[in-house]
Amino acid sequence: MRTTAKLFWQIACILVFSSLLGAGFGFIQGVAAFAHLPIEQKLGLSAWAALTGIGVSVLLGPILYFGVIRNQVSLEALGQVLLIAFIIGVSTAALLGAVLDGGWLSCFVTPVAVVLLTIAFRLRSRHTNREN
């Protein structure tokens, strides 16, 4: 029973924090992607981007945690992964929004960046642990 309760709380925490991060990432990417639009449209589309971020992060967060990083990557490394992915996503949104009027395409870039960075940080962590 104790293991079941622990697993429940792990999943609950991952879903809550994934949702919060996904909403924040999505909203800020939306603002960057639709910066050229009037404020009402920009905020409306950014709200949709936040919902998209929640949806993607609720699916991706548990998969990455239980499948890739569980007890393998430090909290510091996870923070670095998220910060780098955030910078990549917002930069891509701003660049694609300004150049191609296609900032919405960044919604595909950020999840891919999170997955690749998570795998890279886990491999780096594994390599570092072998050396010690």
Decide: 36 and 101 in contact? Cβ < 8 Å: yes
Range of the domain at 40: 2-131
pLDDT in tens, the chain (132 residues): 578 898 899 999 999 999 999 999 999 999 999 999 999 999 999 999 999 999 999 999 999 999 888 877 787 888 899 999 999 999 999 999 999 889 999 999 999 999 999 999 888 887 776 766
Q: Which residues contact 18 (CB under 8 A, 6 or more apart)?
A: 57, 58, 60, 61, 62
Give the predicted TM-score (pTM) of the model: 0.88
Tally of domains in the chain = 1
